Structure 1
Amino acid sequence: MTNSTQRVAWLDFAKGVGICLVVVYHTSEGTLNSFADVSGNITLVANYFRAWLMPMFFMVSGMLVRRSILQDDNAKLGNKLLDWIYLYLVWSVIIYLTRLLSNSFTNTHMQANEILHILWDPVPTIWFIYALLLSFAITIWVRHQSAPWVVGIALAVNMLNSLYYGWFDDSIFQRLAWIYVFYAVGFFYADSIRELLFASKESRLWILIFILMSPIVAFVKPYIPVYLLVFLSMVTVLAFLKFCISITALLPRWKMTRLMVYLGGISVFIYLTHFPFPAATRMLLLKLDIYSHGLTMLCAVLFAVITGHVASKLAQYRPVKFLFKRP
């Protein structure tokens, strides 16, 4: 595997593993909202993913858009912004209608007027697309500014948002204040991050390090001062990316590696279409008198992956294409 190919593979692998874990996280959040977590295990899982999962996606996204943004092709950048806006609006309506119609048999409690608030308060799960859109727009605006200044301001905003949580009243700006620093680090320091990640050749050791540090992150997160969580997130993200590099380097032909690389390539489709499955699988298993968090997570991931795969294929055809691509 060449270095160039390897870089594409590990980024796709990271997105593939990440999108499966997003489904696991949303399933665990739904479980916590519906049942008492007597053992505390589901809370640990949620704490672990809150620490680094979304920061990882935003850092990787920042790295991936660096070249296109720095080309200074304003027409192309404007079209990309319109693509994000279109995707956000279309799927906001889809998720809103689905949740509104399922109010009678789920605990979503979607209000009829929530669709009117999507400019500042996205409907559940779709906030990720809106935050990516805003991060992309901000980065276009500041792309030629000093990297330390931009990242420093983003870091300060993140820490202040953690200290004075509630300033933005749970709006998209609250999430953006938390997450943009990771996008900025990925964009402005993409080359440095790659150099750091590829500096060490001890692949097996890094796999072990990430596996061993994962339960530690889950246990210590609640005890770290909120304004320092950004640093825990950064370290965990970098360890995870090193883990992905190591797996793709050591096991490039392993079926699971290939699967995760493929899923990384269709991660947007999985993200957009996965929203019904955390609740649907939990309800289905309960109807069958099966109460298993692990099985619920596994089934949710399986359904989300299959649906995302089907959506990626259907998106090539005109009757469905408008759901995923601006006409």
Structure 2
Amino acid sequence: MATTHLAPAGMVSPAGRDEPVRQTSRLGWVDVAKGIGIVLVVHGHAVDGLMSAGLLSKSGLAAFSFFAVYCFHMPLFFLLSGLFVPRQIERDRRRFAWRQVGTIVWPYLLWSVVQVTILYLASTYTNRPREELGYAEILWAPPSQFWFLYVLFLFHMVAAALVRRDTAVPMLVTGIFAFVAFHVLWPRATVPHFFTELLIFYAAGIAFAGQITALPGWFVRHRVWVIAACAAILPYIWFGFSRGLGYADLAMVPATLVGICAVLTVATALSGRVAALFRFLGERAMAIYVLHVLFVAGTRIVLAKLLGVENGAVLWPILLAVGVAGPVVTFELLARAGWNQRLGLGARPRATKVANA
């Protein structure tokens, strides 16, 4: 989720239509994709919390949407994270490695401690009560959603060692071996589990880095095929869900690939205010990621356990809205005070222009 700057590049849509997203110093469609992805992350945790609390069925449409989203949303984020790595490493390999301490390690440690402390103090009301603080465990067992930052840091370190200017083959080979190891050995511990499962998608992002400006055109040209693939994959996902498959099972890889392509197709096709909204969220993805669980869990506790609102269908959109808006408002307030980067939430993005709808 780290912010990465690139030289200006234009995206021109065919047939004289509105440009999907204009960009100044960033590739706007990547931020739009991150914005879509981070909303899906909040959705997943909101639904998961409601199901764990017994407020939503584990076999209904909400549960199916949770399963479907989890088939692809984190592979998507790792692919997007890999897109900018080769250029950063080419610019300064050592600086790239050290930069991760401030952009990943610091927010991981800080906000893991904050979240663990708050959830421990509120353990009477949480779905999974913490019996002890366990700060030391943060060093090897990431709490809740923070596994992403832990694993992303490890991926960046592997990239710093393996990525070369003219080839992504070492990263891809390493990713393939890790992927095979995941499905053969099926590691149970959190970090080995996600490392072996997801390295291939991060490596794919690195492999596609050289075509980053051409990707929007590819998705525009092939969007009909992507739509057809989405229509075909939904019954397949439902079959996997109804049969009790895990979203990380090898059988669900087609759903992973189609889901990623679907988000990237939407991200490159959006224009106007909708694109601007998702880009706005994508530029603040780090803040939303590290803070959303506190807002989602806190809101659910207040509404369900203190105020007695126990209708999951009513709670879900509220939790989604609060889980997105709460971190954004927090980020903006901290940015005005100049504390956003000190607290590991990333730099405040510069204003950018988006094509009118």
TM-score by length of 2: 0.79
Q: 168, 179, 189: which is aligned to 1:147?
A: 168
Residues 202 and 150 (structure 1 numbering): CA distance in 2 closer, same or farther, change over 3 Å? Answer: closer
CA distance in 1, matches of 2:257, 2:98: 30
Residue 77 in structure 1 maps to residue 85 in structure 2: no
Corresponding residue to 2:134 among 114, 117, 123: 114
CA distance in 1, matches of 2:146, 2:250: 26
Counterpart in the other structure of 1:12: 31
Distance 1:214 1:115, change over 3 A: farther
Match among 38, 41, 45 for residue 22 of structure 1: 41
Q: Which residue of 1 aligns with 2:83?
A: 63
- Shift of residue 193 of structure 1? 6.3
- Which shows bigger deviation, 12-21 or 272-281? 272-281
- The aligned runs of 1:232-243 (5 Å cut-off) are 232-243=255-266
Q: Do the aligned residues in 1 keep the contact of 2:89 with 2:160 (CA within 8 Å)?
A: yes
Residues in 2 aligned to 1:325 and 1:44: alpha-carbon distance in whole angstroms: 32
How many residues get paired? 319
The answer (yes or no) to whether the contact 1:207–1:246 under 8 Å persists in 2 is: no
- Once the two structures are superposed, what CA deviation does each residue of 1:166-203 show, in whole Å capped at 9, x if it has no partner? x3x32212111111111111012223465455235458
* Letter of the 1:63 counterpart: L
Give the distance between the partners of 1:314 and 1:176, measured in 2 at CA.
34
Q: 1:289 deviation in Å?
A: 4.2
Q: Secondary structure at the match of 2:134?
A: helix
Asked if the contact 2:178–2:199 (Cα under 8 Å) also holds between the matched residues in 1, the reply is: no
Aligned residue type for 2:172: V
In structure 1, distance between residues paired with 2:233 and 2:287: 27
Note the residue ranges of structure 2 that are not aligned, 5 or more in a row: 1-8, 13-21, 347-357
Per-residue deviation, residues 205-247 of structure 1 (Å, max 9, x unmatched):
3674476356335314446792343453133212321121122
Partner of 1:284 in structure 2?
Answer: 302
Q: Normalising by the residue count of structure 1, what TM-score does the alignment of the two structures yield?
A: 0.85
Matches within 5 A, 1:259-278: 259-278=277-296
Structure 1 residue 204, shift from structure 2 partner: 6.6
Distance 1:76 1:197, change over 3 A: closer
Among candidates 146, 166, 173, match of residue 126 of structure 1: 146
Matched to 2:309, the amino acid is I
- The residue type equivalent to 1:112 in the other structure is E
Change (3 A) 1:319 1:11: closer
Q: Could you tell me how far apart the structure 2 residues matched to 1:245 and 1:8 are?
A: 10
Q: Give the CA deviation at 1:142.
A: 0.8
Pairing of 1:95-244 with structure 2 (within 5 A): 95-144=115-164, 147-165=168-186, 167=187, 169-192=188-211, 195=214, 197-199=216-218, 201-202=220-221, 205=224, 208-209=227-228, 212=231, 215-216=234-235, 218-222=237-241, 226-244=249-267
Matching residue's letter, 1:2: G
Q: Deviations over 1:229-271 (max 9, x none)?
A: 3453133212321121122xxxx22x22211111111111111
Do residues 41 (structure 1) and 41 (structure 2) align? no
Q: CA RMSD in A?
A: 2.9
Q: Distance in 2 between matches of 1:279 and 1:273?
A: 10
Give, as a single letter, the amino acid of the residue that structure 2 aligns with 1:81.
V
CA contact (8 A) 1:163 1:227 kept: no
Match of 2:65, SS state, is: helix
CA distance in 1, matches of 2:42, 2:158: 28
Residues 82-101 of structure 1 deviation map (CA, whole Å, 9 limit, x = unaligned): 43211111111111101111
Is residue 25–residue 46 contact of structure 1 (8 Å, CA) maintained in 2? Answer: yes
> How many angstroms apart in 1 are the aligned matches of 2:140 and 2:300?
30
Percent identity between matched residues is 23
- In terms of mean alpha carbon deviation, does 285-294 or 124-133 score higher? 285-294
Maintained 8 Å contact 2:163/2:170: no
The CA deviation at 1:139 is 0.8
Q: How many Å separate the matches in 2 of 1:38 and 1:234?
A: 25
Going by fraction, where is helix more abundant, 1 or 2?
1
Q: Is 2:331 aligned against 1:312?
A: yes
- Between 1:22-31 and 1:197-206, the stretch displaced more is 197-206
1: CA distance, partners of 2:58 / 2:198 = 31
Deviating more after overlay: 298-307 vs 259-268: 298-307
Q: Give 1:53's match in structure 2, choosing from 62, 66, 73.
A: 73
Distance 1:246 1:164, change over 3 A: same
Query: Gapped runs of 5+ residues in structure 1?
Result: none
